Amino acid sequence: MTHRDPIIVAHRGLALEAPENTLRAYAAALDLGFGIEIDPRLTADGQAVIVHDDSVDRTTDGSGNVEDLSLAQIEQLDAGSWFDPVFAGEPVPTLDMVLGLVEERAPKALVMLDIKSVDPYMETLVIESLEVYGLLSGSVGIGGLIYSAQMRERYHALEPRFPLARCVESSLELESAIADPCVDWIYLRYIPSAEDVRQVQRAEKKVVSSAPPVMYRNPDNWRCVREAGVDAMITDHQLECRRVWRDARQVRPRAG
């Protein structure tokens, strides 16, 4: 049986090789043919920037919560030196900067938005930005959306073309998740069987595998989700995962 490789989604960009959630990390991932996962968060003045944590302390030379800082203040921060001096001066990107990068370098790439801010303004901002850059149908809303039915309903009402995901922790939850009219992707936090995946895909929905079983370095689990036929997988180890899957595709000649 021939298995199609899932789309590998680079968690926070190529974050083992460049500072996470920066344009350098995203450009590297896109140029290598990966999808990307991004973390939009609102500033004090209502601008969307890409920062994973509540604060800028860990990934910049500044301090303070994102929601308490203006865009102008965040633009002054160095988001690269903590990772390696070669990235000194790398800025914290805005949502528009990242989406513009995708439009320019890989407009068909899968973009997963781990939306951090639960705010009606963020909902409008995300939809409008995706529309501007022509990335609406090629993106997926995750983050708080995978857990909150109310949040999914709001986004779906605002723009039904924006694909949304729902978290599933075990196969026992699949049926109700598939029946959810606001859900286009099933976000799996366990290693599925091929039948689990077929059940989702028969309903014309897609499957993304994520969480520690595949996010961290676990080649056996990577092979399992590939064999199960998932549509995409989010991981921190994109390059190694690709090598593992390439090895799985190789057909060795018969002896004799």
Angle at 224 between CA 223 and CA 229, to 5 degrees: 100
What is the chain's Cα-based Rg?
Answer: 19
Question: In which residue are the tokens 């993106």 written?
Answer: 139
> Which sign, positive or negative, has the C-alpha torsion 179, 182, 184, 189?
negative
Give 182's DSSP letter. Answer: T
Q: What are phi and psi of 74, to 5 degrees?
A: -70, -35
Burial class of residue 182 (count of CB atoms within 10 Å of its CB; 0-12, 13-18, 19+): middle
Q: How far is CA 240 from the centre of its chain?
A: 18
Catalytic residues: 11, 52
